[in-house]
Amino acid sequence: MQQKRLPLPDVDLAYLEAGSGPPLVLLHGWPEWSAVWRRNIPALAERFRVLAPDLRNFGDSQGPPAERVEDYVADLAAFADALGLERFGLVGHDVGAFLMQDYARQAPERLTGLFFFDCPHLGLGKRWVEGGHLRELWYQSFHQLPLALELVGQSRGACRTYFRHFLTHWSHSPQAFDDRALEEWVDNFLKPGNLAGGFAWYKAVNARRLAAIAGTLPPQGRIAVPACSLWGESDRILLASWQDSLTGLFDDIALELAPQAGHFVHWEQPALANERIARFFAGRE
């Protein structure tokens, strides 16, 4: 597995690459960066050319702050074009899963398939705030406040406490991320610009999310690219009961729940995740 850099006109993207064969691009979520795929890349690289970029201002990628969802989607398009990926598969989680939907509507002919882990989407509408779930969404508003950076970034201890909450609360087991992994997460998000880069996503997507909740969002086109969803049974932020809503967005999607996994299926149950990804993309070129 090699870490590489791809200078593009508007952004400088860092990415991990391994293997050869049909290309797969892995898109992380928050609070993540490309290193979250390290339990997946070696196994997938036995059959695929695996590419895992850091999104803009996550990990080691750098660029001007993203202001719109379209900025991240444009980065993905530029990444694929610059690497000569004529046809490729997309695997994504959380933020990455959201971006995949936009790209699939924009360039379906480029994609061999879409594989989702715990997938936020605009079709969830009012489910975001029903049944007391609004309580879980506090961080999405907090990240848009100027004081968020000051509070979380004021010390290593504050940063550790903040990310420990998400890595334990959103996982099936509080021990899914051990102390060593937690310190790695703190190291990553204390790099200059990374807290702001992660928080910027919530500003970029906020208008769309609020419109979806209010029911004022224009209709979204259905996605014809073949898709598969593997969703953690214990996810506390993207509830497993929401997975059925994906059938309203995709013409062809297979749904499966991952036992003993929360929000981070690819990290918590890597053997299952790797087998399902490889099976889904087998013969898709």
54, 75, 202, 266: the catalytic one is 202
**The amino acid at 96:** G
CB 162 within 8 A of CB 152: yes
| Ordered strands of the 23-27 beta sheet | 2-7, 12-18, 49-53, 23-27, 88-93, 111-117, 227-232, 253-258
Q: Which of 94, 102, 118, 235 is catalytic?
A: 94
Q: Which of 32, 5, 31 is nearest to 16 (CA)?
A: 5
Active site residue 202: yes
- 172 counts as catalytic: no
Paired tokens of 73: 């989607």
> Residue 135, Cβ neighbours under 10 Å: how many?
8
- CA–CA distance, 159 with 156 (Å, rounded to integer): 5
Told to judge if 252 belongs to the known catalytic residues of this protein, a careful annotator would answer no
Per-residue CA distances from 163 to 90, 119, 127, 229 (Å): 27, 21, 25, 26
Query: Taking the CB of residue 106, how many other CB atoms lie within 10 A of it?
Result: 13
| Catalytic residue, candidates 93, 121, 263, 266 | 263
Residue 245, amino acid: S
Q: Cβ neighbours of residue 20 under 8 Å, at least 6 residues apart? A: 49
Please check whether residue 167 is in contact with residue 31, taking contact to mean a CB–CB distance below 8 angstroms. Answer: yes
CA 267 to chain centre: 12
Residues with active-site annotation: 94, 202, 263
